[in-house]
Amino acid sequence: MARSHLAVALAASTLLLVLLAQLFADRGATGQRLWHWNGARADTGSIQAEDGDQYLIGVGKADITGPVVELNLMGYANGSQIGTGLRQRLYSRAFVIGDVSNPSDRFVYLVLDTQSGDTAVRNGILDGLKALGGGYAMYDQHNVAVTGTHSHSGPAAWLNYLLPQITAKGFDKQSYQAIVDGALLSIRRAHESAEAGTLSVATTAVSDANINRSLYAYLANPESERNRYSESVDKTLTLLKFQRSSDGKNIGILTWFAVHGTSMLGNNTIITADNKGVAAKLFEDEISGTANAASDFVAGFSQANVGDTTPNVMGAYCEDGSGSECRFNDSTCGGKSQDCHGRGPFFGLNDAGTKSCYEIGKRQYAGARAAYDYAGTPVKGGTIRSFHTFKDLSKYSFALPNGTVVKTCSAALGYSFAAGTSDGPGAFDFTQNDSGNGDNPLWSVVGGLLHPPSPEQRECQAPKPILLDVGAAKVPYDWTPNIVDIQALRVGQLVIIVSPGEASTMAGRQWREAVASSAESFLDEDPIVVLGGPANSYTHYITTTAEYGIQRYEGASTLYGPHTLAAYINLTLSNLPYLSPEQPSTAHPAAGPAPPDNRERSLSFITGVVFDSAGIGKKFGQVTKNAPASYAVGAKVSVTFVGANPRNNLRLEKTYAAVEKQAGDGSWEMIRNDADWDLLFEWKRTSTTLGTSEVTITWETGGWDHIETTAGTYRIKYYGDSKSLRGSITAFEGTSGIFKLV
Ligand SMILES: *[C@@H]1O[C@H](CO)[C@@H](O)[C@H](O)[C@H]1NC(C)=O
Ligand SMILES: *[C@@H]1O[C@H](CO)[C@@H](O)[C@H](O)[C@H]1NC(C)=O
Ligand SMILES: *[C@@H]1O[C@H](CO)[C@@H](O)[C@H](O)[C@H]1NC(C)=O
Ligand SMILES: *[C@@H]1O[C@H](CO)[C@@H](O)[C@H](O)[C@H]1NC(C)=O
Ligand SMILES: *[C@@H]1O[C@H](CO)[C@@H](O)[C@H](O)[C@H]1NC(C)=O
Ligand SMILES: *[C@@H]1O[C@H](CO)[C@@H](O)[C@H](O)[C@H]1NC(C)=O
Ligand SMILES: CC(=O)N[C@H]1CO[C@H](CO)[C@@H](O)[C@@H]1O
């Protein structure tokens, strides 16, 4: 009998992995930037999965870093959280899986370093694929999955609906286009590199990278159900390994693990890809540092049933001077949520968010690294299928498995939505009548337009007390989706649920289990089911009915009423036969009602760059504060330049900052760029009227333990672009003095 592979294999595989890690330790060739910790080892050519079927496999990665300054960050909905720099570039990672003998049977799974997938972004990608034509005509509505890692430290203002646009002051074409263009480029790279290979799935337990941030709601699930699991969050990381057949090289991995991208806190203003971005970077760096693997190895760290998880694993405490734990039932400090904050592993240190982010990324990396070395279960049973359909959940009436007919309701957010969570004031947290928003022009325009909920709507959403009846708010355009994406992908016995919302731990388990037991009927092997998201759109949260009854943040943000999860499950199961080999791959469900496309009608109060000036007697790129001539390895090296606005040129696939090392023959080699975690690029306006600004580039030569920094002779480079009063944009460079690390 097929079982849910995920939960059951956990304990056994951990033991095996420890043994395997021991067995194979120390056999690696060392490259320049290798590191070893937590039992991880250098790549020795992984153990082959046996008997896997051949698939067409391709991976690709491309830069999606939007405006890193003067734009709101997406996730915490803190209008004052405006970007001031960049620690880590953001990427789209694309994974193409196709049928060798029938190449049009394929899908592409995207992992974007963004807060979520989105309707505007997905439409942009689909338009782009259509425009490419040729072989790209194989990609369409039904087989393109756009997931986000749920990072809360990337640029905002690219989303389709009004609600998440409010704190960002609207929709920013530059921010949106960077994501769409990079996503398309990553698909092209994956598509063009696709060749025959095998796939295998391995799981491992990552015990120390997530805890439950809403345990009080979780405990509302029936005891009999909870007793089936030893943990209140899923500790399993599932890894899909891509190995090409021509030379046996591993070309990429795609993992799923549930943890919020909230390691970087709500007061951070530096762009990063949060903990999953760190994990991906560590993995890619390690593989490319070896002689064994191709340097275009792509490591996707996809989000799973993230809803009630947090990376702030030390628990949530009151920062009101009392030092006590937040109140269990509502995560408040004496009824006030503002003072309750989750603590990451490095709480208390300077720049704790950045350090904790790195640590939580490293823990996921280490888990994935262990799973990578494990033989895994070969993906078998050839068939590749996918489906996608839109469903209007403002009025879906359907039968529960026991026959009782229930319905979903137009989207609404409950009171606890405004309270947020211990990870911060909460995603999209704003209070309707918050005087702090008085200076937000967009909020002033739309603030009075909220719809009062009808009695029917109140009854439908009960027991949720409705704060914002967002599904009915359509002026000046839709605030929140009522039409949702229903999608699943299948290769062999692996089924991927593509979820538009953040499923809670238990909601994800119920959904995966329902799919596994239904898919058994047409799979030869035991089904392996994963859930990826938030994807394609952003429909906030998805809790179980029991958790909904508690109406904490997650339940209050479950948009379509108490039966939201049941509806998603019903719709996934109803379409599941499209994944069966009995169905021709050309059969698709009806497209369903198209969601509104707000790309051209979205408001924006985001101003562009007016002009840059170097200031009297100065030149762009000129060094204003140089690095001293000598440092000890481990120090922070900081250089300040006459700057210009980085929004003039996003420098996609390039860099704003670099460290160069001098070789024996006097030539300079770039050894760091702004994709590297230890190189920080910061921009500061010094005068709005004069148009002057400065850039500080800091190389943190110690403290990030995977990065080996050796003694030598170095310099720092700044690459900028200035805008003249007439609007022309000119590139320039700055170069620091030469310094030694000893
Ligand atoms: C919002 O962002 C500002 C600017 O970074 C910061 O000072 C403030 O603490 C943030 N608010 C919260 C609640 O994190
Ligand atoms: C950012 O917020 C965290 C959590 O509230 C706090 O511990 C830290 O001191 C804040 N950092 C700054 C620079 O305000
Ligand atoms: C949480 O507990 C406090 C104190 O017992 C109580 O006043 C409050 O109403 C409770 N809140 C919820 C949401 O249950
Ligand atoms: C979903 O609900 C519809 C409408 O009630 C029903 O016909 C269908 O059988 C349900 N599907 C599943 C898989 O339960
Ligand atoms: C069917 O299940 C729902 C949800 O668990 C429950 O509320 C309802 O009472 C059940 N109906 C019957 C007829 O058992
Ligand atoms: C909104 O805020 C103002 C002042 O801050 C207050 O007088 C008013 O009662 C509030 N309105 C509501 C509906 O809470
Ligand atoms: C298994 C797990 O992660 N449990 C944690 C759930 O959250 C509470 C605090 O909210 C922790 O104390 C538990 O360790």
CB 697 within 8 A of CB 598: no
Residue 502 in marked binding region = yes
Residue 150 in marked binding region = yes
Token pair in block for residue 224: 């009999």
Q: What is the DSSP letter of 5?
A: H
CA-based max dimension of the chain: 79
Cis peptide before 452 (omega within 30 of 0): no
218 Cα to the center of ligand 5, angstroms: 20
Residue 144 domain-assigned (yes or no): yes
Distance CA 179, CA 121 (A): 7
Regarding whether 315 and 178 lie in a shared domain, the answer is yes
Q: Is the CB of 128 under 6 A from ligand 1?
A: no
Residue 157 domain-assigned (yes or no): yes
Q: Is the CB of 101 under 6 A from ligand 6?
A: no
Regarding whether 50 and 105 lie in a shared domain, the answer is yes
Amino acid at 150: H
Residue 255, strand partner residues: 239, 301
Dihedral sign computed on CA atoms, order 307, 309, 312, 316 = positive
Please choose from 206, 215, 343, 506 the residue to mutate so as to test ligand 7's pocket, defined by most ligand atoms within 8 A of CB: 215
Q: Where in 504-647 does DSSP place strands (E)?
A: 528-532, 541-542, 623-625, 630-631, 636-643
Helices vs. strands in the chain: H and E counts, helices first: 16, 37
79 Cα to the center of ligand 2, angstroms: 16
CB 94 within 8 A of CB 61: yes
Q: Provide the pLDDT for residue 11.
A: 32
Q: Is the CB of 319 under 6 A from ligand 2?
A: yes
Domain boundary among 564, 579, 594: 579
* Helix 352-373 and helix 10-24, axial crossing angle in degrees, nearest 10: 80
Q: Is the CB of 330 under 6 A from ligand 3?
A: yes
Give per-residue pLDDT as tens, 453-510.
899 999 999 999 888 899 998 989 999 999 999 999 999 999 999 999 999 999 999 9
Q: What is the DSSP letter of 122?
A: H
Q: What is the DSSP letter of 218?
A: H
CB 241 within 8 A of CB 253: yes
Distance CA 270, CA 155 (A): 10
Which residue has the CA at smallest separation from atom 1 of ligand 6? Answer: 433
Distance CA 442, CA 42 (A): 52
Residue 414 domain-assigned (yes or no): no
Regarding whether 571 and 680 lie in a shared domain, the answer is no
Q: Give the domain range for residue 251.
A: 8-392+480-579
Regarding whether 521 and 640 lie in a shared domain, the answer is no
Which residue has the CA at smallest separation from atom 5 of ligand 4? Answer: 398
Q: What is the DSSP letter of 89?
A: -
Q: Is the CB of 81 under 6 A from ligand 1?
A: yes
Residue 425 domain-assigned (yes or no): no
Regarding whether 221 and 122 lie in a shared domain, the answer is yes
Q: Is the CB of 315 under 6 A from ligand 7?
A: yes
Distance CA 629, CA 468 (A): 58
Please name the residue ranges forming H helices in 330-393: 352-373
Number of independent structural domains in the chain: 2
Residue 388, strand partner residues: 487
Token pair in block for residue 202: 């391995």
Alpha-carbon distances of 501 from 179, 224, 304, 587, rounded to whole Å: 20, 26, 10, 26
Q: Is the CB of 457 under 6 A from ligand 4?
A: no
Please choose from 522, 570, 572, 580 the residue to mutate so as to test ligand 4's pocket, defined by most ligand atoms within 8 A of CB: 570
325 Cα to the center of ligand 3, angstroms: 15
Q: Provide the pLDDT for residue 448.
A: 57
Q: Provide the pLDDT for residue 449.
A: 63
- Strands 413-414 and 466-468 come out as antiparallel
Regarding whether 146 and 226 lie in a shared domain, the answer is yes
Please choose from 402, 506, 547 the residue to mutate so as to test ligand 5's pocket, defined by most ligand atoms within 8 A of CB: 402
Regarding whether 29 and 176 lie in a shared domain, the answer is yes
Give per-residue pLDDT as tens, 542-574.
999 999 999 888 999 999 999 999 999 999 999
Regarding whether 238 and 114 lie in a shared domain, the answer is yes
Residue 377 domain-assigned (yes or no): yes
Q: Is the CB of 435 under 6 A from ligand 6?
A: yes
Q: Provide the pLDDT for residue 37.
A: 35
Which residue has the CA at smallest separation from atom 10 of ligand 3? Answer: 329
- Report DSSP letters for 131-196, one per residue: HH-GGGGG--GGGEEEEE--BSSEE----SSHHHHHTTTB--HHHHHHHHHHHHHHHHHHHHH-EE
592 Cα to the center of ligand 6, angstroms: 42
Residue 541 in marked binding region = yes
Which residue has the CA at smallest separation from atom 7 of ligand 1? Answer: 267
Regarding whether 632 and 565 lie in a shared domain, the answer is no
Residue 240 domain-assigned (yes or no): yes
Q: What is the dihedral of CA 244, 250, 254, 260, to 10 degrees?
A: -170
Regarding whether 641 and 572 lie in a shared domain, the answer is no
Question: Which ligand has an atom closest to residue 425 CA?
Answer: 1
The model's pTM is 0.91
Q: What is the DSSP letter of 357?
A: H
User: Within its chain, how far is the Cα of 102 from the centroid?
Assistant: 32
589 Cα to the center of ligand 4, angstroms: 15
Alpha-carbon distances of 363 from 153, 287, 313, 334, 413, rounded to whole Å: 19, 17, 12, 34, 34
CATH of the domain at 629: 2.60.40.2300
Regarding whether 548 and 650 lie in a shared domain, the answer is no
Residues in the chain with pLDDT values less than 70? 1-51, 290-295, 419, 425-449
Cis peptide before 476 (omega within 30 of 0): yes
∠ CA(660), CA(666), CA(668), 5° rounding?
Answer: 20
Please choose from 80, 265, 336 the residue to mutate so as to test ligand 2's pocket, defined by most ligand atoms within 8 A of CB: 265
Domain boundary among 527, 558, 579: 579
Q: Provide the pLDDT for residue 185.
A: 98
308-331 burial, b if ≥16 CB within 10 A, otherwise e?
A: bbbbbbeebbbeeeeeeebbeebb
Q: What is the DSSP letter of 655?
A: -
Q: Is the CB of 339 under 6 A from ligand 2?
A: no
- Report DSSP letters for 378-431, one per residue: EP-S--EEEEEEEEEGGG-EEE-TTS-EEE--S--EETHHHH-BTTBS-TT---
Element (H, E) at 487: strand 483-491
Q: Is the CB of 517 under 6 A from ligand 4?
A: no
CB 597 within 8 A of CB 624: no
Please choose from 387, 391, 395, 398 the residue to mutate so as to test ligand 4's pocket, defined by most ligand atoms within 8 A of CB: 398
Question: Which ligand has an atom closest to residue 568 CA?
Answer: 4
CB 682 within 8 A of CB 646: no
Phi and psi angles of residue 461, each rounded to the nearest 5 degrees, phi first: -85, -10
Residue 496 domain-assigned (yes or no): yes
Residue 656 in marked binding region = no
**Which atom of ligand 6 has the smallest separation from the CA of 435?**
5
Residue 3 domain-assigned (yes or no): no
In sequence order, which residues have a C-beta less than 8 Å from that of residue 476 and are 6 or more positions away?
162, 445, 446, 449, 601, 603
CB 627 within 8 A of CB 637: yes
Dihedral sign computed on CA atoms, order 94, 97, 100, 102 = negative
Domain boundary among 579, 598, 632: 579
Regarding whether 193 and 44 lie in a shared domain, the answer is yes
Distance CA 611, CA 688 (A): 9
Please name the residue ranges forming H helices in 601-670: none
User: Within its chain, how far is the Cα of 585 from the centroid?
Assistant: 30
**Which atom of ligand 4 has the smallest separation from the CA of 399?**
5
